[in-house]
Amino acid sequence: MDIPVIDAKPSGNDLLKSILIAKNNDLKTSVIAYSNITDGALEIIELLNLNFQVHYIKDKVGLSSLLIDLKNEGYQQILGDSLAIKLAKDLNFNTVLFQTSYETLENFLGYAIMILKQTKKINEMDVIRSRFLTNTINNYCVILNNKIIFSKLENFEKIPVSYEKCINLIYEFEEIRNHKSEIKTKIDDINIRVTSINISNDKYYLFEFKKIEEEDNLPIGVYEFEIGNNFIPVEKSKAMKNLYLKLQKLVEKNEAIFIEKDNEYTLNEVLNYILSLNKSETILIDGDKIEIENYFESIKNDTKNIILKNIKSYEAIEGISKKNKNYDGILIIVLDKNSILLESVDPSKTIMIPGTIKRKDDLINIFNNYITNYREKHGTAALKIQDDMFENDESLLEEDLDDLLMVLRRCILEEDELLITKEIYLEHLYKIKNEDTKPCRDISLDQMEKEAILYQLQKENYNQSRVSEILGISRSTLWRKMKKYNI
């Protein structure tokens, strides 16, 4: 069962008190109750040698006819549980209720709390296993409240990095913004991936460890690429249906795919969709940090999917497009919206990320997916967005989708409502816009930071956990800043 049921039945002392009250009334008495009471009461009645007739309740049916028969037999008093007493009062019997004392209830309540805590503990471990752990993770540890509570190490004799470095990574993880749900880093010859989940106001951190093999050691500017499950492709709108059809054809033809980026969220949806068509390993190459053409030449016979961004020249695009013809993986080139480099790209190979107005039919699903992801990861209250949120209001459709989701994030974190209504959403939208348009004052960055922290603390009644989540910093960082500013 989801909730343990504990029968807080009267103790022997409770039964004795009720029986003595009935005895002192000196009336012809019958005992009527369920067997969890009558079994104990019968022993006491026999010990006291009382002339009480005992009846067991098997179900509610037949109880009224039993009481009528007892009335006809001259019984004047019913000693019983609440069900029997209720019906007996209607038939003008004198009644005495078997009562559970405060002390007995307190004992059972303590027992119930113990059971609930144990059930909760078991349930939390089940949730951790289901969300965190898979058969493919062989080396990891789980940290709660800066303590290692669980670990599995198949390829290491002990946790391969120091405890202090793990804690520093937690602080670094908490500083990350922009919807990132994990960090990846390298310490010595160990790759480390950190993720987290919230369960019952407790935050658990999973550290995965992998020894770096020579072939895994990627140069600066080249990264393993994964997209989280919070970017679920939505294709109710005509624009997205056409986009996904075009993508399928390009992948089938093994063509390079050029993407003109409009917003980050839809870009990640599209990348998720493309990579679902080829589940090979994917790497991201950043042209700001590495010479793309040279590195691409060294891996052109590989089977990885490759995403290229920050390409600098027409020549690079032309060279990569030619090399792609014999490449087995999916090649994706991301260009900024209205980039002049798009002039050199075949339009039939270009995917234009649609803006908000073209995704009107997708927005409710996108918002609800976003809310669900936050609720599962952070235990927030909201369940969904108002269904007619974007009806009869073109102004919202003129906003950038990333900005709309930033407002939704504020609503999720600051409101305790199950439904994010349009009224709530617009209130936060206007508040953010007013914050952006306030005239600048001649104050230092420290003073601005202090005022922002103080404002949120006062608004949230100094709930530091809530404030740290709203500000996107860890509790320890918030505490250090409060100490610094003498708040």
Stated length of the chain: 487
% residues pLDDT > 90 (the chain):
17
Look at residue 285 in the predicted model and tell me its pLDDT.
83
Mean pLDDT of all residues belonging to the chain: 81
pLDDT tens track for 355-403: 999 999 999 999 999 898 888 777 788 889 999 988 887 888 889 998 9
b/e sequence 291-328, b meaning 16+ C-beta within 10 Å:
ebbebbeeebeeebbbbbbebeeeebbeebbeebeebe
Residue 125: is it exposed, middle or buried by C-beta count within 10 angstroms (0-12/13-18/19+)? middle
Look at residue 120 in the predicted model and tell me its pLDDT.
67
For the beta carbon of residue 202, count every other beta carbon within 10 angstroms: 11
Residue-range domains of the chain with CATH: 12-103 (3.40.50.10660), 133-217 (3.40.1840), 238-354 (3.40.50.300), 358-437 (1.10.8.60), 445-484 (1.10.10)
Task: Report yes or no: 407 and 432 within 8 Å, Cβ to Cβ.
Answer: yes
Out of 137-151, 282-296, 302-316, give the one with best mean pLDDT.
137-151
How far is CA 450 from each of CA 252, 340, 428, 447, rounded to the nearest angstrom? 55, 43, 22, 5
Q: What are phi and psi of 440, to 5 degrees?
A: -70, 140
Q: CA 461 to CA 454: how far, in whole Å?
A: 10
pLDDT band for position 229 (cuts 50, 70, 90) = low
DSSP state, 417?
Answer: -
Predicted model pTM: 0.49
pLDDT tens track for 416-437: 888 999 999 999 898 888 765 5
Look at residue 291 in the predicted model and tell me its pLDDT.
74
Strand duo 257-261 + 190-199: pairing: unpaired
* Residue type for position 223: Y
Query: Which secondary structure element, helix H or strand E, spans residue 207, and what is its range?
Result: strand 202-211
* Residue type for position 137: I
- Asked whether the predicted pLDDT for residue 74 surpasses 90, the reply is yes
Beta strands in 312-431 (DSSP E): 331-336, 350-352, 384-385, 419-420
